[in-house]
A and B are shown apart, each in its own frame.
Chain A
Amino acid sequence: MIQKKICMLGATGVGKTSLVSRFVLSMFSDTYLTTIGVKVDKKTLSVDGADITLMLWDIYGEDEFQTVRTSYLRGAAGYILVADGTRQRTLDTARELQSKAMAVVGNVPFVLVLNKADLAGEWRVDDRALWKMAEDGWTLVKTSAKTGAGVEEAFLKLTTKVAAS
């Protein structure tokens, strides 16, 4: 069995935990997020006929009061950057977190998830910025933790990239 450590990164309130909750069955309480700043969950996916177990480290969101503990990123095979499509600032935070992550784990696969796709009317992120990021090689996936749209796809895309790396 192949295992991979995947980290969930993003600003506070972008819906990381909700995404994970839709994706896995947790064993630990969410209170760990607010105490030690991380919660580990598990999900097994099949990519090209091979089972891969993802150990998902849901890392507490970064905001003006605290920063992400980068030590939690060590050994990650990939990560998911989560931004809130209704808040442009969260996209900037995602970009900053990507830089931090790269400094710790190097050039490992990652996926940018634009969450809250169900709130299309309130969408605030700059599409040109998104195009630019896509041109830079970023993989972007729109998701809705509320409806579940795109969630499986986002994890599958990252897993495929991780498996191929």
Chain B
Amino acid sequence: MANIAAARQGDRHPAADAAHAADFAELRSLIVGPEQRHLRTIQARLDDPATQARDVSRVLPVAMLLRKDDPQMTRALAPTVEEALTASVRRNPRPLADALFPIFGPAIRKAIAASLSSMLESLNQTIEHSVSWRALQWRLIALRTGRPFAEIVLLNTLVYRVEQVFLIERDSGLLLQHVKSAAVSARDADMVSGMLTAIRDFARDSFRVSEDEGLDNFHIGDLSVFVEQGPHAILAAVVRGTPPAELRQALQEAIEHVHARTGEALVSFTGDSEPFEAVRPTLEGLLEAKYRPRRRGVSPALWVTATIVVLAIGTWVFLAWSSQSKWNAYLDALRAEPGIVVVGAERSGGSFTVRGLRDPLAKDPRSFVAASGLTADAVSGSWQLFQALDPSIVQARARQLLHAPDTVRLSFDGSVLRASGSASADWIRESARLAPLIAGVSSYDARPLVEQRLRELSAELSKALPMFARGSTAFESGGESVLSSQLERLRELDGLAQVVGQRYAIEVVGHADSDGTPEQNESLSVSRANVVRSAIERLSLSHLDVSARGAGSREPLTRDTSEADKRTNRRVMIRIAGTK
């Protein structure tokens, strides 16, 4: 310090100068040394970019948070962020796509769902009204006016639809938010917002109303614009149709909500509409529509149409049922008819075809058509001939083949053909030969017929008596003829015996009148019986056993007192004595 003081007094010396310098340096070091070191450290930090970057990085997040509401900050960052995003997407779009995926997915789904819902609602309306009398009228109107059918439907079914909602800054008329129905095509909302405000100002100026009053609503054609005013913003809803009173209440609540939610942004509004995205869902909630419920009552025209359809269907069903019933009746009749077998039946439209087997003796199938109610033209048949085994058909076949006379009755029980009544022995014999050959006949029973014929022959034999001349074995005139007839009857009897497989005993009894002695008469009657017996035996009848005896005059037919009585008693009687 003494050196320093000396120097100040001008007492200078080189050695002393050096000492002084050292002293100054020491003094500086003592006084400002720490500050100098600090300055050097700061200088080093400022000169080192890495250190600077570290320092800035410490304060940058805090600084950005402090300036987050500053539009200049946004503007300053925007180009860099845009370039960074562009470069990132150009280099590899995947990371950005992955980052945005959770946002885009729900947003796209929501937008698509809203559009589909709106479209379906509109489509539903259109479809619901596509097939009715009213729809026809509307189509005519659409044709006449050149407007789309869907629009005509909309106009006639829509009660109301809030098509657009504008949220407008009250003073400037600038658009803060705008939402619209998906089915509506809107013009530039910004300019519409401005003109709405201009019209509102114009009306208020023209009628000199206060600031708090103004245009509440106005109508243009089918559209109405409802305006709800708030302290800083107005809400304008464009409505098609006639909305309920509740819509006004909903608009009031919405504008109140907007002010409550974005009040600060409204007060400090300088043209940035970004903060009002937050109230977009509120505005979208106002986009509602209501359609007239479709009348559920049925129109008279529909009633008439339905009645006609029901009658037509009923008639068709009845005709089909009737036709089917007739067809079934026809088939049942055919199936019930002996000698007819139905093997196939087809129906095609109004025509019928039946296929089967038919016995020639069965009824003609066509004869059943009229009875069933069908027309002959509608039915065609294809029949193959066969021999049926139905009893009635077999019976008819037997009658036909045997040429049975009307006096013969035939019956068939499924295996045995029985004949009754009366018929000649020749026919009986011939039928016995042919009957087993008839299809379906396993045996032939002609006994009733034979027995009847036997009774007849027996009666005939007993009635016809060959007469003899007095005292002689010669026949009186005509006696031979009578004998011949009797012989023929016996021949017939023999034939019947062959048919039934029996042998018959024939007794020939001669008689005489009482003119001679009993012995003479006895002898004469025996002779007469033998004459006839011989005649019979000459016939060689194989199934008849003939015996002869004389009765003398013991068995006269009459009192034998007159010549006529005596003639009657000169006879030979032939009778069937029984079977063996």
User: How many residues in B have their beta carbons less than 8 Å from beta carbons of A?
Assistant: 28
| Known A5-B174, A74-B172, A77-B172; contact A40-B79, beta-carbon cutoff 8 A | no
Interface string of B42-58 (1 = CB under 8 A from A): 00000000000000000
CA distance in complex: A113, B194 (Å): 23
Is B271 within 8 A of A77, CB to CB? yes
Q: Which of chain B's residues have a CB closer than 8 A to the CB of A74? A: 171-172, 201
Flag if B202 contacts A42 (CB, 8 Å): no
A77–B169 alpha-carbon span in the complex (Å): 13
Tell me the complex Cα distance, A39–B195, Å. 7
Would you call B75 an interface residue if the criterion is a C-beta within 8 Å of the partner chain's C-beta atoms? yes
A147 to B212, CA, bound (A): 45
State A76–B174 Cα separation when bound (angstroms): 10
Question: Are the CB atoms of A28 and B174 closer together than 8 Å?
Answer: no
Given A3-B273, A5-B174, A55-B173, A32-B75 contact (CB < 8 Å): no
Question: With an 8 A cutoff between CB atoms, is A31 at the interface?
Answer: no
Which residues 42-88 in A have Cβ within 8 Å of B in the complex?
A: 42, 48-50, 52-53, 55, 57, 69, 71-72, 74-77
Which of chain B's residues have a CB closer than 8 A to the CB of A53? 190
Give B71's nearest chain A residue, CB to CB.
A2
Say yes or no for B128: interface residue by CB 8 A criterion.
no
Asked if residues B174 and A3 are in contact (CB atoms below 8 Å), the reply is yes
When each residue 107-137 of chain A gets 1 if its CB lies under 8 Å from chain B and 0 otherwise, what string results?
A: 0000000000000000000000000000000
Contact partners of A72 in chain B: CB under 8 A: 198, 201
Among A3, A27, A48, contact of B187 (Cβ-Cβ < 8 Å): A27
Please tell me if B506 contacts chain A, counting CB pairs below 8 Å.
no
Contacts of B191 in A (CB 8 A): 27-28, 40-42, 55
Encoded as 1 (CB less than 8 Å from any B CB) or 0, chain A from 98 to 112 comes to 000000000000000
The 8 A CB mask of B184-206 against A (1 = contact, 0 = none) is 00011011001100110110110
B201 to chain A: which residues have CB within 8 Å? 69, 71-72, 74
Contact B75 A49 (CB under 8 A): yes
Closest to A37 in B: B202
Cβ–Cβ < 8 Å partners of A28 in chain B: 191, 195
- Contact residues of B between 261 and 305, Cβ < 8 Å to A: 270-274
The answer on a CB contact under 8 Å between A38 and B271 is no
Residue in chain A with minimal CB distance to B190:
A42
Question: How distant is A128 from chain B, measured CB to nearest CB, in Å?
Answer: 36
Note all chain B residues with C-beta closer than 8 A to A75: 169-174
| B78 proximal to A (CB < 8 A) | yes
Tell me whether B172 and A1 are in contact (CB under 8 A). Answer: no
User: Are A5's CB and B172's CB within 8 A?
Assistant: yes
A42-B188, A49-B78, A75-B171 given as contacts; is B202 within 8 A of A3 (CB)?
no
Select one of A3, A40, A57, A69 contacting B205, CB under 8 A.
Answer: A69
Given A28-B191, A40-B195, A69-B205: A50 and B75 within 8 A (CB)? yes
B86 to chain A, nearest CB (A): 14
**A40: B residues at CB distance < 8 A:** 173, 191, 194-195, 198
Q: Check if A38 sits within 8 Å of B198, measured CB to CB.
A: yes
CA distance A56 to B270 in the complex (A): 16
Known: A28-B191, A49-B79. A4 touches B271 (CB 8 A): yes
Instruction: Indicate which residue in B171, B202, B274 contacts A36 across the interface (CB closer than 8 Å).
Output: B202
Chain A residues, Cβ within 8 Å of B446: none
Q: How far is the CA of A32 from the CA of B270 in the complex (A)?
A: 27
Q: How far is the CA of A5 from the CA of B171 in the complex (A)?
A: 10
Please tell me if the beta carbons of A3 and B271 are within 8 angstroms of each other in the complex.
yes
Across the interface, name the chain A residue whose C-beta is closest to B171. A75
Q: In the assembly, what is the distance between CA of A62 and CA of B174, in Å?
A: 24
Q: Given A37-B202, A74-B171, do A57 and B78 touch, yes or no (CB 8 Å)?
A: no
Instruction: Give B274's nearest chain A residue, CB to CB.
Output: A1
Q: Which residues of A contact B270 (CB under 8 A)?
A: 2, 77
Cα of A58 to Cα of B71 in the assembled complex, Å: 28
In the bound complex, residues from chain A placing their C-beta under 8 Å from that of B198 are 32, 36, 38, 40, 57, 72
The reply to whether B202 and A27 form a contact with Cβ atoms under 8 Å apart is: no
In the complex, chain A residues whose CB is within 8 Å of the CB of B71: 2
Query: In A1-26, which residues have CB < 8 Å from any B CB?
Result: 1-5
A-B contact pairs, 16 of them (CB 8 A): A1-B272, A1-B274, A2-B270, A5-B172, A27-B187, A27-B188, A32-B198, A41-B191, A53-B190, A55-B190, A55-B191, A71-B205, A72-B198, A72-B201, A77-B270, A77-B271
Given contacts A37-B202, A76-B172, 8 further A-B contacts (CB under 8 A): A2-B71, A27-B187, A27-B188, A38-B202, A50-B78, A52-B271, A53-B190, A77-B271
Which of B's residues lie within 8 Å of A, judged by CB?
71, 75, 78-79, 169-175, 187-188, 190-191, 194-195, 198-199, 201-202, 204-205, 270-274
Top 7 A-B pairs, shortest CB-CB distance = A75-B172, A75-B171, A40-B194, A5-B172, A36-B202, A71-B201, A74-B171
